[in-house]
Amino acid sequence: MTVPPVKGFSKLSKEDKIDWLASHYFSNPDEGISLLKKYWNHDAKLQQLHDEFIENTITNFYVPLGVAPNFLINGQNYTIPMAIEESSVVAAASKAAKFWMERGGFKTEVLGTEKIGQVHFIYQGHKKRLQKFFTAIKPKLFSAASHITKNMEKRGGGITGIELIDKTGELPGYFQLHSTFETLDAMGANFINSCLEQFAATFKEEAVGWDGFDDAEKDIEIVMSILSNYVPNCVVRASVSCPVKDLDEDRELTPGSFAEKFVRAVDIARVEPHRAVTHNKGIMNGIDAVVLATGNDFRAVEAGIHAYASKNGKYTSLTKAWIEEDTFHFSIEIPLALGTVGGLTSLHPLVRLSLEILDNPSAKDLMQIAAVAGLAQNFAAIRSLITTGIQKGHMKMHLMNILNQLEATEEEKNYMASYFKNKTVTHSDVIKVYEAHKRKQP
């Protein structure tokens, strides 16, 4: 079926948008409309708030919000909120948290909080003239943005540097104003972008009146002004360690064998990109869930972290594991540009509640909490991989999803959960046992 283009869709009411979708796409329009409306919030004011987060809203798309307790971080106990749809993630994080709470907990340190933004421009003249111009007008770039930075500076943040970067070796005529920022508890995207656009306007305006340029050189082309989500100097480290002999919870391996096999598994992710991608995806299960629950931009976090994993020219593991003097060490070092003020952090009621669960953390605190969630998730995944295998625990958690797809009754769910209590769950086995059980029912 070919659907004709629609004009003025954004101007339609929500109900009219849904009617249009139903009439053109839904196999059962009444049923589809009813489903969309079931997910509306009964509180009209709260629903309007959600409607206004994005454009062309038709309903809400729910993701479960869970909590993982017993995270001991730098001596303080945390219960971490996690918004995610994937089975076993919250359970795995909770299990890892309990394991390490009994072995001293997690240690964390923020190594830097520098954010980055760039004005990308084209200049076809003499490089020495451009450098002289930049040096002369650099103070004006700061002063021209003072109306934007005033409040941030009062709190101790602001613009921390502006450099002229020559990229002509990679693209003819391409230069940058590479700028660094401190945005404190704000993620700072709007602040940074506003500063960059002011830099660009001032830079271009000053070039027109600069006597050191000829007429052609004065015509600087501003291509774009935008923050970067790659923040290699906004970095946090999280780690755990304990005597090898204390790794004694696994019945299949001795503590020493467990530690050695664990280190080898991380080393494989360090040297093999195919494994590293899945290894790091598991880390992001924990980090993204915290980032989403606290109203931060998980797409930006993902992009920056994966770029960091490739910073030496090859995609590699974000975590490290090693044994030193009979002590097992496991750590992660990642860039995390997060905020606890502004944006959804002050608008979304569940985000505010999540931050309250975390004792209203600063941005630095949240960086450390998120990094710990990623490290815990990675520990849980590797522990499963080198012992029972990933499917036993994961599919047991996934069992309920399969049964819900089969529209199983409560009695059937209880029977299936009991049946698979000590068995490995596979999709085909669940179907087979479920159908056999149903045939036995009167």
Structure tokens at 264: 């080898």
Q: Residue 392 above 80 pLDDT?
A: no
> Residues 364-384: what's their mean pLDDT?
97
Shared domain check, 93 and 241: yes
Shared domain check, 212 and 243: no
Q: Which of 360, 387, 414 is the last residue in one of the domains?
A: 387
Shared domain check, 147 and 240: no
What local confidence, expressed as pLDDT, does residue 432 receive?
82
Give the CATH number, domain containing residue 201.
3.30.70.420
Q: Residue 249 above 80 pLDDT?
A: no
Give the orientation angle of helix 89-101 with respect to helix 363-385, to 10 degrees: 100
The domain of 125 spans 115-228
Q: Is 173 left (phi over 0), alpha (psi -120 to 50) or beta?
A: left
Shared domain check, 183 and 278: no
Structure tokens at 409: 């009754």
When pLDDT is cut at 50, 70 and 90, the band that residue 416 belongs to is: confident
Q: Which of 228, 252, 282 is the last residue in one of the domains?
A: 228
Number of domains in the chain: 4
Give the orientation angle of helix 146-154 with respect to helix 189-208, to 10 degrees: 140
* Active site residues per annotation: 86, 281, 297, 394
Shared domain check, 100 and 248: yes
- What is the CB neighbour count within 10 angstroms for residue 243? 14
The sheet carrying 174-182 orders its strands as 158-166, 174-182, 115-122, 221-228
Shared domain check, 406 and 332: no
Percent of the chain whose pLDDT exceeds 70? 97
Closest Cα partner for 130 from 199, 176, 82?
176
What local confidence, expressed as pLDDT, does residue 131 receive?
98
Q: Rounded to the nearest 5 degrees, what angle is found at the Cα of 250, between the Cα atoms of 249 and 255?
A: 80
What local confidence, expressed as pLDDT, does residue 167 receive?
98
When the pLDDT of each residue in the chain is averaged and rounded to a whole number, the result is: 94
Give the CATH number, domain containing residue 74.
3.90.770.10
Structure tokens at 239: 């780690």
Closest Cα partner for 32 from 68, 58, 55, 1?
58
- The per-residue pLDDT for range 4-40, each reduced to its tens digit, is 899 999 999 999 999 999 999 999 999 999 999 999 9
Q: Residue 394 above 60 pLDDT?
A: no
Shared domain check, 331 and 295: yes
Whether 283 and 310 have beta carbons less than 8 Å apart is answered as no
Shared domain check, 122 and 7: no
Query: Range with the lowest mean pLDDT among 85-94, 308-317, 390-399?
Result: 390-399
Shared domain check, 198 and 72: no
- The per-residue pLDDT for range 112-146, each reduced to its tens digit, is 999 999 999 999 999 999 999 999 999 999 999 99
Percent of the chain whose pLDDT exceeds 90? 83
Tell me which amino acid residue 184 is.
Answer: L
Shared domain check, 80 and 51: no
Q: Which of 168, 197, 228 is the last residue in one of the domains?
A: 228
Shared domain check, 101 and 126: no
Shared domain check, 120 and 107: no
